Amino acid sequence: MTEPSTVDTGTGYGRKAPSHNARLTEVGPGTPMGEAMRRYWHPIASSAGLTSDAPHRTRVLGENLVVFRDGQGRPGVVFERCAHRGSSLFYGRVEEDGIRCCYHGWKFDVQGHCLEQVLEPDKGLRRDVARQPWYPVEERYGLVFVYMGPPDRKPALPRYDCLEPLEDGEQYYADMPAPGLPPTGLVADFNWLQLWENTIDPGHVAWLHSQHSGQQMQGVGTTGTPDNFYDPDLFPANISYAKTEYGTRYEYRYLDKRETGTGNELVYIMEQHLPNVFTLPDFVKVTPDARPDLVLWVVPSDDTHHRMFFSLRTSDPDRLGRFAFGILQNGKMPWEMTEQERQQFPGDGEAQESQGPITLHSEETLATSDRGVVMLRRLLNTMVDDVEAGRDPLGVSRVDEQPRHIQGGIFTAATADRAPAAAPTTEA
Ligand code: FES
Ligand SMILES: [Fe+2]
């Protein structure tokens, strides 16, 4: 037999079984990240969409929950399984003071107290032992937030300087402008960290959203960003990442030559606050040096699903559309595309969903354009370490505090303080 002169390298044969980083991705009760995430408040529904008409079922951090608003207007979050014999409270009825199970009529209030056991003598002499597990909720910025962690570690619900106060004529928007969506939001079929990391991966804008699939960001060249914003060759020199008080931020510098011809230097900024909060500038109708108006949350449903929530502060009726429909694929929204079009013009959904239900971290090859992702993962690791060591993780405060500074937008580089996140003062 003749020996080959060269042997192939890098083939797929004999590789070790791939694996994901469970410490960063898995969120069920008792897992390291699950416990860390349970030290923060998370949006669970939009306030406007949560009416007293019917309960909604959802899934957060691997737990099946029902969210409802009782007839007195109080939002409630309880386990989906009835404390009696396990029927789903999704089939229950919302009443003035609580939710009533369909099976035997037990009624629970927003804190899980059993108010009535209709088949029992005197409507239940031992109602007190039938507590429906519940979680505390608070409403702010047009969203209902839930806290699912240890009661003695419950933090104050954070406030953000870009979302308050409302200026004249403004209101909060927290529902996608599409009919028929539940107030609990749309579920995406992959791990939350894949979307969360995308928020500090601006390189994908310079490739996926422009070079690979054609220009997908609406407003480019007219009201939006100029062509050179998407130039992959300029990317390495113009991007920078930094740690901030509450997480991370990236700044991407580019020259805007459209108006002056001389090259006005602008900076595109997005910021991420632990564990899952981020900003997104108006990239469709660029107004340099404007106050940010949009905060978003990536909320894990379980290990392989997540939902995105947002609060938008605006008086401009078109702003919600620019955010919700600002990225088109071949001129279409994702649900309008054929499989062939999705292959030809992939966008965020295709790129992130195809990483897998949970991406395989053992198979990654990280490079310099992943510096932000690495920075974020390190912070998340520290967050998990802190909780395991009995410390409060970054950004957790038990006292009501001033609104936090969170930056996001497009700013003139010459502006000394690119931080108009707070409302302008009215002092003379
Ligand atoms: S299972 Fe809910 S009342 Fe019996
Ligand atoms: Fe994207």
- Full 3-state SS string of 41-53: EEEEEECCCCCCC
For residues 33 and 27, is the Cβ–Cβ distance under 8 A?
yes
In one-letter notation, the amino acid at residue 118 is V
Closest Cα to atom 4 of ligand 1: 104
Q: What is the pTM of this model?
A: 0.95
pLDDT in tens, the chain (428 residues): 566 679 999 999 999 999 999 999 999 999 999 999 999 999 999 999 999 999 999 999 999 999 999 999 999 999 999 999 999 999 999 999 999 999 999 999 999 999 999 999 999 999 999 999 999 999 999 999 999 999 999 999 999 999 999 999 999 999 999 888 999 999 999 999 999 999 999 999 999 999 999 999 998 777 888 889 999 999 999 999 999 999 999 999 999 876 555 678 999 999 999 999 999 999 999 989 999 999 999 999 999 999 999 999 999 999 999 999 999 999 999 889 999 999 999 999 999 999 999 999 999 999 999 999 999 999 999 999 999 999 999 999 999 889 999 999 999 987 645 555 566 554 43
Instruction: Name every residue whose Cβ is closer than 8 Å to that of residue 93 and which is 6 or more positions away in sequence.
Output: 99, 100, 102
For residues 320 and 311, is the Cβ–Cβ distance under 8 A?
no
Show the tokens assigned to 169: 């004529």
pLDDT at 340: 96
CB atoms within 10 A of CB 264: 16
Options 2.30.30, 2.40.50, 2.40.128, 3.90.380; CATH for 171-412 is 3.90.380
> Which segments within 33-111 are labelled E, that is strand?
41-46, 56-60, 63-69, 75-79, 93-95, 98-100, 107-108
Is the C-beta atom of 91 inside 6 A of ligand 1?
Answer: no
Mutate which of 106, 115, 117 to test ligand 1's pocket (most atoms within 8 Å of Cβ)? Answer: 106
Closest Cα to atom 1 of ligand 1: 85
Options 3.40.50.300, 2.102.10.10, 2.40.30.10, 1.10.530.10; CATH for 41-153 is 2.102.10.10
The single residue listed with the structure tokens 């003035």 is 96
pLDDT at 414: 73
- How far, in Å, from the CA of 85 to the mean position of ligand 1? 5
In the chain, CATH 3.90.380 sits at: 171-412
pLDDT at 219: 85
For residues 306 and 190, is the Cβ–Cβ distance under 8 A?
yes
In one-letter notation, the amino acid at residue 11 is T
For residues 75 and 94, is the Cβ–Cβ distance under 8 A?
no
Closest Cα to atom 3 of ligand 1: 104
| Length, in residues, of the chain | 428
pLDDT at 258: 65
Exposure class string for 357-396: b at 16+ Cβ within 10 A, else e: ebbebeeeeeeebbbbbebbbebbbebbebbeeeeebbbb
CA distances from 192 to 18, 24, 43, 126, 247 (A): 19, 10, 14, 42, 17
CA distances from 83 to 58, 74, 411 (A): 17, 21, 53
For residues 63 and 49, is the Cβ–Cβ distance under 8 A?
no
pLDDT in tens, 121-151: 999 999 999 999 999 999 999 999 999 999 9
- Using the atom order of ligand 1, give the atom closest to the CA of residue 92: 2
